[in-house]
Amino acid sequence: MSEWKTVKLGNVGSCIRGVSYKKDQLFEKQSDNTIILFRANNINNNQIIYRDTQNVAKEVVKNDQLLNKGDVIICMSSGSKHLLGKAAFFDFNSKKYTVGAFCSIFRIHENNILPEFIKYVFQSKKYFTAISKASTSTNINNLKKSDIENIEIHLPPLPIQKQIVSILEKTENLKQKRNETNKETQKIIQSLFYEMFGDPVKNEKGWDVKRLVEVLKEDKYIVGGPFGSNLKVVDYKEKGIPIMRLQNIQKRTFIDKNIIFISEKKAEELKYHSFQSGDIILAKLGDELGKSCIVPDKYSYGIVVGDVIRIRVPENTINKTYLLNVLNADFCAKLLGGQKTGTTRPRVNLSDIRNIPVSVPPLQLQEEFAKKVQLIESIQSKQQSSTEEINTLFDALMQKAFKGELVDA
C-alpha cells in the first residue's frame, strides 16, 4: 500500500446541494422547460429508482445541479436517521436530471480517481461509520456538506482502482442476478393468487366482498402505532421489548435487521399498540403503501411505531396467508395510493386500512392456496441462504478493497 494515499473526499470532489423550489414550480408532465428531479425516496439499496420522480422548472436548476454521469446522489436530510447518507451512483449520460434540496450531488473533479471507485466508497463500511458519527452528534436529522467532504478514504493508484472495481462489479452482478431470481419467485406467488382467485378488482369469480374490519369482526384487530410524541428516539434501548418499524417490512418478507428496543415500562404504557408473533404488520407511510409481512416466532411480543399498522387474524375468519397476499397485491397499492395524503412522504390513515375491500373466497380454497405458497416459500428460503452468502462475500471483498488487501500493489 506504499502508493496509496489518505485523502478527504473534499480533496477529490465536492458536494453540491440539491434544488430548492416552490409548489408552483412543479409540473405533472415533462417538457422542454422541466428537469426530472430525484428525491431521497428515489435512492434504494444503492440504486436510483426512476419512478415517482418530480418535474421541476428548468429555470430554478443551476448548471452545476444537473447530474453528470459518474455523480453520486446522497440523502442529506430525512425524518429517519437510518436513511441519512444513503447513496446511489448516476450512470446515465443525460443533462435532464437533478436532485431536491434534501439531497446532494457528490462530483469528482480529479483525474486520478475513477467514478466507479467512488461509487463503492459510498457503499463501504468506513463511509457509513462516518455518517453514523456525524448523525449522532446532533438531534437534527441533517448532514452538512462538510460531513461528506471530510470523510477520509484510502486512494490507490488508477491501475489498482481498476482492478478493485472489476472484482467488485463481478460480485455485484452476482447479487443483482440473485435478486432478479428472488423477484421471479415472488411473481410465481402473484400469478398463483390471480389464477386461483381472479382479479380482485374485476372479481369475475363473484366472491363476497367485505371491508377488512368486517372480515376480522372488530376494530381491535387492526391497530395503528402510537403518535410520535408518545414514542421518541430517546425511548430507544439496546435491549428490552422490540419495536417494529418501516424498515422491518418488505412485501411478504420480514427484515430482521436493525431491531430497536424500548423498556418494559414504556411497552406497558403503549400496550394498546402491541403485536405478537404471527401478526401482520403493514406500512402506512412511504412509497409502497400497504406492503406487509408476518412477524416471525422469535418476536413473541412488542410494539409497532406510528407509521406501522398491526393486523391480527382471529380464527375462522380468513386465512392469514391469503390475506397477506391481498394486502400486497398491486390493486391494494393502487387503492391506497389514491387515498394518500402528504407530498414528501405519502401516507394513509388507519381508517383507510380498515376499509380495504377484501374478496372472501371459501376458506377451504384459501387454505389450499396457503399450502402451495408454503412450498414456494421453502424454495425461497434456500434462495435466501444463497443471497446471504453472496452478500457476505461482497461485504468481505469491500472491506478488503479499502484496506488494500484485495489486490497486489
Cα separations in angstroms, 214 against 270, 313, 331: 25, 12, 19
Q: Tell me the sheet residues that pair with 275.
A: 302
Residue 317 CA from chain centroid, whole number: 32
DSSP-assigned states of every residue in 13-49: EEEEE-B---GGGEESS--TTEEEEE-GGGEETTEE-
Cα separations in angstroms, 260 against 80, 139, 269, 298: 13, 18, 17, 14
SS3 55: strand
Q: How many CA atoms lie within 13 A of 28 on its CB side?
A: 0
Q: Could you tell me the pTM of the whole model?
A: 0.63
SS3 252: coil
Residue 138: per-residue pLDDT: 54
Residue 68: per-residue pLDDT: 95
Grid cell of 21 as nine digits:
423550489
Cβ atoms 398, 123 nearer than 8 A = yes
357-360/208-211 β-pairing: antiparallel
Q: In the chain, what percentage of residues exceed pLDDT 70?
A: 95
Question: How far apart (Å, rounded) are the C-alpha atoms in residues 233 and 246?
Answer: 15
Q: What mean pLDDT is predicted for residues 372-400? A: 78
Side chain identity, residue 241: I
Cβ atoms 156, 118 nearer than 8 A = no
Question: How far apart (Å, rounded) are the C-alpha atoms in residues 112 and 157?
Answer: 7
54-57/34-38 β-pairing: antiparallel
Q: What is the pLDDT of residues 337-377, one digit of tens each?
A: 776 665 556 778 899 999 999 999 999 999 999 999 988 88
Nearest of 95, 90, 56, 74 to residue 14 by alpha carbon: 74
Count of beta carbons in the 10 Å neighbourhood of residue 324: 22
Which of 105-114, 131-140, 369-378 shows the lowest mean pLDDT across its residues? 131-140
Q: Tell me the sheet residues that pair with 194.
A: none
Q: What is the pLDDT of residues 304-336, one digit of tens each?
A: 999 999 999 999 999 999 999 999 988 888 888
308-311/13-17 β-pairing: unpaired
Which DSSP symbol is given to 113? S
What average pLDDT does the chain have?
A: 88
Q: What are phi and psi of 171, to 5 degrees?
A: -70, -40
Domains of the chain (ranges; CATH) run 5-155 (3.90.220.20), 156-195+362-409 (1.10.287), 208-360 (3.90.220.20)
Which of 12-26, 95-109, 246-260, 332-346 shows the lowest mean pLDDT across its residues? 332-346
Q: What mean pLDDT is predicted for residues 62-88? A: 90
